[in-house]
Structure 1
């Protein structure tokens, strides 16, 4: 910041009352030191020094300005020091934006655990499926599904192999019949997720490298992923959910995977920050912590939660 540079030169000149000594002390030329004083005088609209060929002393305006100037520089320096200290420590506030379903049913407990490990860290959690603009909203980190559309953002993978599964409650399957092929979705009630004004009604699958895309009609539609999951658990119909979102329901038997021989579309989970400067030690620690938790959950669900 040039203004800070000029202010510090002014303070040094006011103390030593010698441009040459200040220039030598700050590793500058006398001309550069003099130019800094002139810029500052133009900005404040007053002469700060009385100059002669042999002496240099503060004017009355300069003497008044010096007290405020020193106080302001000290406060700014302290502010910079505090920011640098927070950046290198696990303290201060960390603001997170997480998806509705994943946030409530998995991340909430894990974030509590992470907070206990770092008691000086204050977490502020925003739970929503709407895509948070990290440049406009007071959010440090966003956790989101899907592939990164904004190339200016930095994305760190949390669970890259995650994918969607067809799932329904045992009561629904007992009442409406087993689904053996995705094409049979037309005969069933489908539960749909809506983001903004766009409803996810094209469900994509792959089997042995062969893709299959199906347009479905939803009897129940919500812009909250957790609501769609709750409808599925309640037996309202078939949902097409991220495996991580329904992992606990699959493990408990509240939901069952349908057409397990067909893999749903990819749903990689990532941690997003606006730029690399936001990859602070605490953000990287959070990423490592969540990556381990999510991978364990994903592997456990694949091992015991995929039932037909």
Structure 2
């Protein structure tokens, strides 16, 4: 495999990331035909097909996914090494890509990012907030941030931010009009603001008291997929919402919302920064973990 060049491997990584030759060519500032030629040569030398091509789309083959899984961390590590050599060893440089839930990104921006940027001003931080849980290795991220229960089992997890609890909340006007639920089962007679998960399924509201656990598919004619929107809807008197407490806390403090069923909503393990078990953790990620801890 000595005739396989680093530039061809980088071309493959770019095409796979952009899922297309034209976008990758635009990002690299080269022609589409040159990328196509490089990929064909790489596939010929490896003896496997790395990409499925049609006139409209490009998809990575199973062999291509296996290559990307090992290649992306190596390319990022190489970039870090070259940056360190060019700028000197006394200052950390490089790029750190993190995929986070919206709540996780918000927490990092408030509590971690300011300190990290002050300590390491030459590290570029690429923070992507999205609801869908992604394969951080396959998508080229150094780390992810999710609630502990959502962290893949094969990842190394660093808890931070303390425990969190989901709370049922409603506007005082709603309670005055429709009454106060005393037990979770009372919610079945209320107007609830349901939540659509990134997978497309509706979230079942989970409650616990004295080792008794309930998961309810509550009724309601309004379904949303964003915690901030659910809080706004509850403040508008549209129903009862069930959200992580940090999202509702400002409205609770202002009296725009009231807590419901507090005895049924204990705290559970909160956010975790997680990453793959590589032998070498990139220097920017190690520094970020130190700040998080």
- With the shorter chain as reference, the TM-score category is 0.5 to 0.7
Residue 92, structure 1, aligned to residue 103, structure 2: no
Shift of 1:279: 4.2
Is the contact between residue 105 and residue 127 of structure 2 (CA under 8 Å) also seen in structure 1?
Answer: no
The question of whether the paired residues in 2 share the 8 Å contact of 1:158 and 1:271 is answered with: yes
Equivalent residue number for residue 158 of structure 1: 160
Secondary structure of 2:243 counterpart: strand
- Aligned with 1:219 (options 199, 221, 246): 221
After superposition, the Cα gap between the structure-2 partners of 1:219 and 1:145, relative to the gap in structure 1 and judged at 3 Å, is farther
- Distance (whole Å) between structure 2 residues aligned to residue 160 and residue 284 of structure 1: 21
Query: What is the 5 A alignment of 1:220-259?
Result: 220-259=222-261
Give the distance between the partners of 1:134 and 1:263, measured in 2 at CA. Answer: 31
Q: Is the 8 A contact 2:173 2:237 kept in 1?
A: yes
C-alpha separation between the residues in 1 aligned to 2:270 and 2:242?
Answer: 15
Q: How far apart, CA to CA, are the structure 2 residues paired with 1:278 and 1:244? A: 35
- For the Cα contact (< 8 Å) 1:163–1:242, is it kept in 2? yes
Deviation of 1:101 after TM superposition, in Å, equals 4.0
Partner of 2:164: helix, strand, or coil?
coil
Matches within 5 A, 1:190-201: 190-195=192-197, 196-200=199-203
Q: What is residue 203 of structure 1 aligned with on the other side?
A: 205
Distance 1:269 1:288, change over 3 A: same
Q: Return closer, same or farther for 1:208/1:167 CA change in 2, 3 Å cut-off.
A: same
1:113 paired residue number: 114
Tell me which residue corresponds to 2:82.
82
Q: 1 CA distance for matches of 2:90 and 2:187?
A: 52
Greater mean deviation of Cα atoms: 238-247 or 262-271: 262-271
Report the Cα distance in structure 1 between the residues aligned to 2:189 and 2:247, rounded to whole angstroms: 25
Check the 8 A contact 1:203/1:214 in 2, yes or no.
yes
1:283 paired with 2:285, answer yes
> What are the superposed Cα offsets for residues 122-168 of structure 1, whole Å, 9 maximum, x if unpaired?
22121111112212213222111242463322222124632211122
Alignment TM-score, normalising by the size of structure 1: 0.58
RMSD of the TM alignment (CA)?
3.4
Provide the rounded CA distance (Å) in 2 between the counterparts of 1:103 and 1:276.
Answer: 24
Decide whether aligned partners of structure 1 residues 183 and 275 sit closer, same or farther in structure 2, where only a CA change above 3 A counts: same
Q: Does the 8 A contact of 1:169 with 1:254 survive in 2?
A: yes
**Which of 115, 127, 132 matches 1:130?**
132
Q: What is the deviation of 1:94?
A: 1.4
The question of whether the paired residues in 2 share the 8 Å contact of 1:166 and 1:259 is answered with yes
Larger radius of gyration between Structure 1 and Structure 2? 1
Structure 2 Cα separation of the partners of residues 154 and 108 of structure 1? 22
- Aligned residue pairs total 217
SS of the equivalent of 1:136 reads coil
Structure 1 alignment gaps of length 5 or more: 5-42, 44-77, 292-308
Kept in 1: contact 2:112–2:291 (CA 8 A): no
Q: With structure 2 as the length reference, what TM-score do the two structures score?
A: 0.61
8 A contact 1:169–1:233 mirrored in 2: yes
